[in-house]
Amino acid sequence: MASMTNRTYGQYCGLSRAVEILGERWGLLIVRDLLIGPKRFTDLQRGLPGIPSNVLTSRLKELEKSGVVRRRVLPRPAGSVVYELTEYGSELEEAVVCFGRWGAKSLGEPRPDEIVTPDSIAMALRSTFRPEACQGVRANYELRLGDVVVHARVHDGSIEAATGRLPDADLVIEAGPGIRALMAGEITAGQAIEQGVARVSGKRQLFDQFAKIFRI
Amino acid sequence: MASMTNRTYGQYCGLSRAVEILGERWGLLIVRDLLIGPKRFTDLQRGLPGIPSNVLTSRLKELEKSGVVRRRVLPRPAGSVVYELTEYGSELEEAVVCFGRWGAKSLGEPRPDEIVTPDSIAMALRSTFRPEACQGVRANYELRLGDVVVHARVHDGSIEAATGRLPDADLVIEAGPGIRALMAGEITAGQAIEQGVARVSGKRQLFDQFAKIFRI
DNA sequence: CTGGATCCCTCACGATACTG
DNA sequence: CAGTATCGTGAGGGATCCAG
């Protein structure tokens, strides 16, 4: 193994290549946040609690060199710098969703110092989405967890999930981390409301739908 | 961020959990090899060129503690130790396949010191398999690349791919790394044979099928 | 304020040798 | 065969500083 210098695996294999590109620490989480939309350096930092700025800089440069991320200066008058996924980078969505779905199975309760970010929740909605559970369904949800607000537009087997409010939502759900128990099927929609895990406003029966559509 | 000691990400998020468990160096490649089947310590070493034995030991212990891998002593007279995936670990197949498929897109030509392992090729067949391209098809392939021999049983939209020979194969393909060009659609099945990229024996028209079924 | 650059320190990884 | 022991290096963590 002459030169294992640049962190390769010495194998002619697709998975090895993927891990060489995205296996460094924080790499996949950066991609997760960019899958939600383009972001500025500082916004990425906010979504990745504790990442050292030099590490974020390195990752972005590496991902740019690998063709996953593109650095772009917005036209005047904005003039600011944003990072966004290339076409190639966007093709990671399926893998990130798969991987996140697997990890969600053993999520359990939040650990003491753990935080919740808007992007991770939006991606969680994409991960847990079950197209087969909403054929012919059309529903717009706004989901609030603490001060994190995300939304999902469900439309006949497809979904768009993103951060922020949704003024024309059919149902607004206010909940805490306990919402996981609902999505894991450990409690029913009715119990979630009775136990104070969630409060809803809007078309109530869409909450039962929600529990069917988003499923760990 | 009080204690980021044990390599966590401080986020209540499925993807973060997955990366905490599998994001360490060599982790996913170990899982890839175990997805093909249970393996002994030394066999894992052989499939992971250059992995230090102490690192392999650490990974296996961590993965065992995470519930992904199980260490098992075979009953007498064998008495040897094997590592295998738990049910939970086996559920990683979809994610590994997705991830490997993404990485295969930018595989290019093999780098100088890169090797090919049986397990990685078997997993590559699972990654590139397109169920929609073989409805009603039944075919058994044996694929040889150098001294690496794997096989695939394709049966009406499903596949079993593993290492080793397949005595009742309908078609035996002998090829080099150039086979990637065929699977990437850069050349046709006919050209692959003309250019000496591949030699086949058996039912020739199944080779055209092969190029349709396994696709990067 | 944004978008980093620089420093120091620690620990995970890589290489090698050795053992029951 | 299936690991342990030891040691050197470099990537990552964390704080601070700086230009536009």
Do A143 and A164 form a contact (C-beta atoms < 8 A)?
no
B107 touches chain A (CB under 8 A): yes
Nearest CA in chain B to A128: B14
Counting one residue from chain A and one from chain B, the pairs whose CB atoms sit within 8 A come to: 184
pLDDT band at B207 (very low <50, low <70, confident <90, very high): very high
What confidence score (pLDDT) does residue A112 get?
A: 87
B25 and A CB contact within 8 Å: yes
- For A152-189, the pLDDT digits (tens) are 999 999 999 999 999 999 999 999 999 999 999 999 99
- Mapping DSSP to helix (H, G, I), strand (E, B) and coil, where does residue B153 land? strand
Distance from CA of A152 to the nearest CA of B (A): 18
Segment B9-20 mean pLDDT: 96
Looking at the C1' of nucleotide C5, which residue has the nearest alpha carbon? A54
List the A48 CA – D15 C1' distance (angstroms). Answer: 18
Closest CA relative to residue A152, chosen from A121, A109, A111, A106: A121
User: How much is the pLDDT for B2?
Assistant: 35
For tokens 């499923």, what's the residue? A215
Say yes or no for a CB contact (<8 Å) between A100 and B14. yes
Strand partners, B85: B69
Per-residue confidence (pLDDT) for residue A77, from 0 to 100 = 73
Q: Hey, is the C-beta of A76 within 8 angstroms of any chain B C-beta?
A: no
- Which nucleotides in chain C lie closer than 7 A to a protein CB? 1-7, 12-17
Which stretch of DSSP H or E encloses residue B26? none
Beta-carbon separation of A12 and B101 below 8 A: no
User: A91: nearest CA in chain B?
Assistant: B102
Q: In chain B, positions 119-138, which contact chain A (CB-CB < 8 Å)?
A: 120-121, 123-124, 127
Give the H or E element holding residue A54.
Answer: helix A53-65
Report residues 36-55 of A contacting strand C, contact meaning Cβ closer than 7 Å.
Answer: 40-43, 52-54
Q: Flag whether pLDDT at A2 surpasses 70.
A: no
CB spacing of B29 vs A10 below 8 angstroms: no
Residues in chain A: 216
pLDDT band at B3; cut points 50, 70, 90: very low
pLDDT digits (tens, 9 = 90+) for A43-82: 999 999 999 999 999 999 999 999 999 999 988 777 889 9
What is the CA A81 to C1' D3 distance in angstroms?
51
Torsion of CA A15, A16, A17, A22, to 10 degrees: 90
Burial of A41 (0-12, 13-18, 19+ CB in 10 A): middle
Q: Which long-range CB contacts under 8 A does A205-208 form with residues at least 24 apart?
A: A206/A139, A206/A141, A206/A170, A206/A171, A207/A171, A207/A173
- What string of DSSP letters covers A74-97? PPTTT--EEEEE-HHHHTTHHHHH
Q: Which residue is nearest to nucleotide D9 (CA to C1')?
A: A5
Token digits of residue B196 = 């000496």
pTM of whole model > 0.75? yes
Taking a C-beta distance cutoff of 8 angstroms, is the pair B59, B28 a contact? Answer: no
Picking from A183, A185, A186, A141, the residue whose alpha carbon sits closest to that of residue A159 is A141
Distance from CA of B214 to the nearest CA of A (A): 14
Looking at the complex, does the CB of residue A9 fall below 8 Å from at least one CB of chain B? yes
| Most distant CA atoms of chain A, gap in Å | 65
Q: Which nucleotide is nearest to A4 (CA to C1')?
A: C14
Residues 55-74 of B with CB under 7 A from strand C: 55, 58
Contact B7, A110 (CB under 8 A): no
Smallest Cα distance from B78 to chain A, Å: 31
The pLDDT of residue B78 is above 90: no
Whole-number pLDDT of residue B79:
83
Band (pLDDT 50/70/90 cuts) for residue B6 is low
Near-strand D residues (CB closer than 7 A): A 7, 24-26, 50-55, 58; B 1, 4, 40-43, 52-54, 57, 71, 80-82
Q: Who's near B188: CB < 8 A, 6+ residues apart?
A: B182, B211
pLDDT in tens, B168-197: 999 999 999 999 999 999 999 999 999 999
